[in-house]
Structure 1
Amino acid sequence: MPSSLPDLVDSHCHLDFPDLVGEIPQIIARAAAAGVTRMVTICTRLKNEPKVRAIAEAYPEVFYAAGTHPMSAAEEPLASVEELVTLTRHPRMVGIGETGLDYHYTVDSKAIQQTSLRIHIEAAQETGLPLIIHARDADHDMEAILAEGMAKRPFTCVMHCFSSGPRLAEATLEMGFTLSISGIAAFPKSQDLRDIFAKAPLDRLILETDSPYLAPPPFRGKRNEPAYVAHTARALAPLFGLSLEAFAAQTTANFDRLFPRVRGAA
């Protein structure tokens, strides 16, 4: 990678989704051209794990995580701790999830979401791999369940695409967790969210796209892809008084610490 490029990682994307899966080689090439040389593609339904795993096996730049998305928890068979732990035997599976709570559209399934979340927490505790959390309109229950799990046995965790309130940010940072910055933070009206990140320890922040969703400006409203994490990094670096290169280096170091399997494969 030329030294003029930032050293970036996309910690959360969905390369198996229809919007992206047909052009993965081109997507990886565009990512590399922007300085994004590693990415984690996320399996949201365990029945799709073989397909997601195959992508990670085919491309050295790609790693994967697997779990049951909270919005799918009522539609999918409930995962077991043993099933999740078994999946982690694959060396390119680097995280548990995404899991979590989403009461925005699927509040009717909150009981099964909570059960699923607790199962994923236990799998993260058993394996030592980071938990990947999706949280929307469920801050109180999310804080309570994560704290309950930490009290039983510590685990590592990233709050994916963090866009919740300051209380959940403070609580999860106090637990030692990491906040992930998506393109939402680059939207003009996201000052409250940028204020939350500005108050967080710099060593607890990582970057993501959540591709194909949530493209940052100047691509907002269009399909997102891993290369665009560079636009989010460029927009957020001044918040910390850093150059793009320095902010990229810091967030990448944070990622490497949180996802040791990716670092070990480098």
Structure 2
Amino acid sequence: MSKGDRRTPPPEPEPLPAPVVDAHTHLDACGASNAAEVHRMVDRAEAAGIGRVVTVADDLDSARWTVEAAGWDERVYSAVALHPTRAKDFGETERKTLRELVRDPRVVAVGETGLDYYWDFSPPEPQQEAFRWHIGLAKETGKPLMIHDRDAHEDIVRILEEEGAPETVIFHCFSGDAEFARRCVEAGYVLSFAGTATFRNANARGLREAAASVPAGQMLVETDAPFLAPHPFRGRPNEPYCVNYTVRDLAELRGESVEELAVAVSTTAERVFQLDRVVGS
């Protein structure tokens, strides 16, 4: 693929036979900064069968923006937290702000929080402390906990067990193998699969086995846009409409029709995020 191709977004696909939810995206990082740009981005998604999106924060400015964006368009919902790579800066100001923002009726999850041992922006100790605090916030508000887990499977599970997991736990951009998926499913957790689950390299084999094995009632799909564009567009700019490609690929992997999987993950998203209770939906 040439450099020019890598800057070109994937083509807009034929719409899915049933609408789905992009369970985790970053509209601001995709380039949307105002209401008109959010509308255009979500219009593109809806034309591909992605009727609603959850736009997710990674710092306080982003958290404020996601809540504002969710008020601009009824197809947009918000999740707020401080990303684990920023946990060294997690203090009273962050706690107070997030407590205020999470009360907004269009905030449907506490996230993304968790642990990231791949990058060294924050030491493990403040990450774990912040993760424990976010677990408490999710339980306090009754909203799902959206987890970022990178190279930290065992500590994530251990801390969830020690703190007592919230009623709903979502592993965003699930990155484990089939055995770790089995453990998460048995614990009642929900696994959200991004474009990485469509990759064809050897490192993705275990992840694809996991995606093939998870019950549809505990499965979501996402873009994590602007990152992780699905196969065969790996490396290109990503947007919520590209969930379409992920759904089609995973349906084939699982031996299901595209419509069956689309309906299943949409039903799961409705339940997990309690979308029927969100004002303006």
TM-score by length of 2: 0.86
Look up the match of 1:242: 256
Look up the match of 1:176: 188
Q: Displacement, 1:107? A: 7.4
Look up the match of 1:38: 52
Deviates more, 1:21-30 or 1:124-133: 21-30
Letter in 1 for 2:73: Y
For the residue of structure 2 that corresponds to 1:17, the secondary structure is: coil
For the residue of structure 2 that corresponds to 1:191, the secondary structure is: helix
Deviates more, 1:105-114 or 1:57-66: 105-114
Maintained 8 Å contact 2:178/2:213: no
User: Are 1:29 and 2:48 counterparts?
Assistant: no
Look up the match of 1:199: 213
Q: Displacement, 1:109? A: 0.9
- Rate the CA distance shift 1:21–1:216 in 2: closer, same or farther, 3 A: farther
Look up the match of 2:120: 106
Q: Displacement, 1:155? A: 2.5
Alpha-carbon distance between aligned partners in 1 of 2:15 and 2:180, rounded to the nearest angstrom: 37
- Rate the CA distance shift 1:243–1:122 in 2: closer, same or farther, 3 A: same
Equivalences for residues 9-24 of structure 1 within 5 A: 9-17=21-29, 19-21=31-33, 23-24=37-38
For the residue of structure 1 that corresponds to 2:53, the secondary structure is: strand
Q: Displacement, 1:192? A: 1.5
User: Are 1:258 and 2:277 counterparts?
Assistant: no
Letter in 1 for 2:120: T
Equivalences for residues 52-131 of structure 1 within 5 A: 52-77=66-91, 83-106=97-120, 109-131=123-145
Q: Displacement, 1:76? A: 4.4
Look up the match of 1:158: 170
- Rate the CA distance shift 1:186–1:89 in 2: closer, same or farther, 3 A: same
Q: Displacement, 1:201? A: 1.8
Q: What stretches of structure 1 of length at least 5 have no aligned partner?
A: none
Q: What stretches of structure 2 of length at least 5 have no aligned partner?
A: 1-13
Letter in 2 for 1:264: R
> How many residues are treated as equivalent by the alignment?
262
- Rate the CA distance shift 1:17–1:77 in 2: closer, same or farther, 3 A: farther
Deviates more, 1:41-50 or 1:62-71: 41-50
Percentage of matched positions with identical amino acids: 38
TM-score by length of 1: 0.91
Letter in 2 for 1:176: G
For the residue of structure 2 that corresponds to 1:39, the secondary structure is: strand
Maintained 8 Å contact 2:176/2:210: no
Letter in 2 for 1:8: V
Alpha-carbon distance between aligned partners in 2 of 1:82 and 1:159, rounded to the nearest angstrom: 25
Maintained 8 Å contact 1:6/1:34: no
Q: Displacement, 1:89? A: 2.0
